[in-house]
Structure 1
Amino acid sequence: MNKKTQLGVPLSAQNRLFVPVLGASGGCGRSTTAGLLACFLAAVGSSVVLDTAPRLTSPWPSWPTEHGAGLASVPPGRPLTRHQAHAAASRSDGPAGKWSVLTDHQDWSHGPLDLPTDPAAWYQLAATGAWQAVVADTCHPVAHDIVAARTKGQRGLTAAWCALPFAVPVLCAPTSGTGVAALQTAVKAITAEGLPLQRMVVVLTATGEGRTPPVVKAAATMLESQVSAVLQMPFDPHIRVHGLSDADRLARQTVAVGSALVSAVLASAHHTWGDPLPPAPVPAVLSRTAVDSRSARPAHHEGVFT
């Protein structure tokens, strides 16, 4: 069977499915989940992972098989072409084909990049590169972000990621008692804030071999009626040792769940916006002259990452 049709009808050139991967707690398998999403979304369109974490806390610089120029080559606040965006991206191989990663490949001793926190800037970067399936590996704790933003009367990062066009959020938690407790707190905060919980897909990541604890099974059962889908990611010894540096060697169970995860995300998107998906909006962009003068002017193939 053709890899491009295994997960359904391929996305059109005008589509842009955005998947922010959110963490209910630390050690929730967020980066692994983001990688598996991009790996299997490659079956339906060009896919990319956006690494929003600081370089020295992120696994992404060491995972791709072919390194690109990295985020350091993306000029902040200046026009960016599609060619520059693709040159900055690294490449990885997987069961569904090649997929891209935008991360920071500078040496450990280099100063940190001043990466934007605004999800709209990351969306614009992905739109400039014309990727059809965009997975954002976020790095903030969901419940803390929502409560802190509400306390300050501001819009939090979680709300901003969820509000991006055609966004299907994926919420991750480890299969442990403390992991489930953090997940339940995050769900309460999401519900209180009026965020699209029913559109979300929940991934429970096994932290070791063995049976799933009863408390995790109970939590999964209770969540099924509140979210779009609940999936359990099995423990994969290859990922534990190598991460996603060689996605072609994933365990059979991991491949099956990765495909099921993409199917769940696509099902949520189609249920929300229809099948096929409508064309994605194109962000407003700035020309080089406009950036210098701080006034906007359309440019069909340029964007600004700021």
Structure 2
Amino acid sequence: MAATGGSGRSTVAGLLADGLSASGRTAVLDLAPRLSSPWPAQAAEQHAGGLAALPPDQPLSRANVHRACTVNAASNGAGWHLLTDGREWHTLPLPLPQDPAAWYQLAAIGGWQTVVADTVHPLAHDMLAARCLGELGQTRGWYALPYALPVLCATSTANGIQALQQAVMALHAEGLPLQRTVVVLVATGDGRPPAAVRAAATMLTARTAAVVHLPHDPHVRAHGLRDLSRLRSRTRQAAAQLTRAVLDAAHSTWGQPLPVAPQPAPIAPAVPAL
């Protein structure tokens, strides 16, 4: 999650999925509308059905869900799934569910051991709007899912840190568990992070599960995550640190080995009125 757009969420999601795939079957769920997401271009190469192949009013099987996914090669040789809307740009926009529980149910059908949700809602705005309307809100909904480990992304800039600090204050005010929240600061250029970023990282280290610095990588900027073998060594090191931070936070919160996640009850398809 992130407070603003352009915070490196998709890059972090891909690197995290790559790292977690070494521990079990892993998938990335793309929650963004098709024309604002970087994932569909990658899915188009494999001609998978994607989210459009999963009708919401019909029962789904694990085989259905897996056929809709693309398979991405991992740096460890394991591979991971991607589920996105990979249709042509001019097709009718696909209505995606807002409720995190719907995505949790889809993850349960898919049978993955780890799922990385690439969200798009603005974190702090969502919490403030939910408070004013007396609603649950998407952010609290994600936190409330079984064994959810939130990862907050922000650019290593003054504006990025300001947005992140506001989001953290909102999380604290709402009583959400920062102790199992991992922060990733995404660099936008080479060189040492600004003083404001370093100071914020020191403060956040004491309040969150971990703070990870993801360095700038020209290959990611130019080509995305299509070829992980061409990433800089320090990018791979940061990705490994991120994976360890997420797993350590999960184990410190729920134990090791992790308990089996509860299975949601099946939802009967809607019956049209006569």
Normalised to the residue count of structure 2, the TM-score between the two structures is: 0.96
Distance 1:177 1:149 in 2: 27
Counterpart of 1:238?
Answer: 219
User: CA deviation digits over 1:159-185, x for unaligned, max 9?
Assistant: 001111000000000000010000100
Q: Which has the higher strand share?
A: 1
Percent identity between the two aligned chains? 55
Find out whether 1:59 has 2:54 as its counterpart: no
Q: Which SS does the other structure have where 1:49 is aligned?
A: strand
Distance 2:55 2:206 in 1: 45
The RMSD of aligned alpha carbons is 1.2
Alpha carbons 2:57, 2:270 under 8 Å: kept: no
Alpha carbons 1:202, 1:230 under 8 Å: kept: yes
Q: Which SS does the other structure have where 2:149 is aligned?
A: coil
Alpha carbons 1:67, 1:91 under 8 Å: kept: no
Counterpart of 1:279?
Answer: 260
Counterpart of 1:32?
Answer: 11
Matches within 5 A, 1:171-190: 171-190=152-171
Of 103, 109, 126, the residue aligned with 1:128 is 109
- What is the aligned residue count? 270
Normalised to the residue count of structure 1, the TM-score between the two structures is: 0.86
Alpha carbons 1:63, 1:244 under 8 Å: kept: no
* Structure 2 residue identity aligned to 1:25: T
User: CA deviation digits over 1:147-206, x for unaligned, max 9?
Assistant: 000000001100001111000000000000010000100000000011111110000000
Please identify runs of 4+ aligned residues in structure 1 that moved more than 3 A: 64-67
Counterpart of 1:43?
Answer: 22
Find out whether 1:89 has 2:83 as its counterpart: no
The offset of 1:67, in angstroms, is: 4.2
For the structure 1 residues 118 and 197, does the alpha-carbon distance in structure 2 shift closer, same or farther, using more than 3 Å as the test?
A: same
Higher normalized contact order (CA 8 Å, seq sep 6+, divided by chain length): 1
Counterpart of 1:170?
Answer: 151
Distance 1:40 1:193 in 2: 31
Matches within 5 A, 1:140-151: 140-151=121-132
Matches within 5 A, 1:184-263: 184-263=165-244
Q: Which SS does the other structure have where 1:24 is aligned?
A: coil
Find out whether 1:265 has 2:221 as its counterpart: no
* Structure 1 residue identity aligned to 2:207: Q
* Structure 2 residue identity aligned to 1:199: R
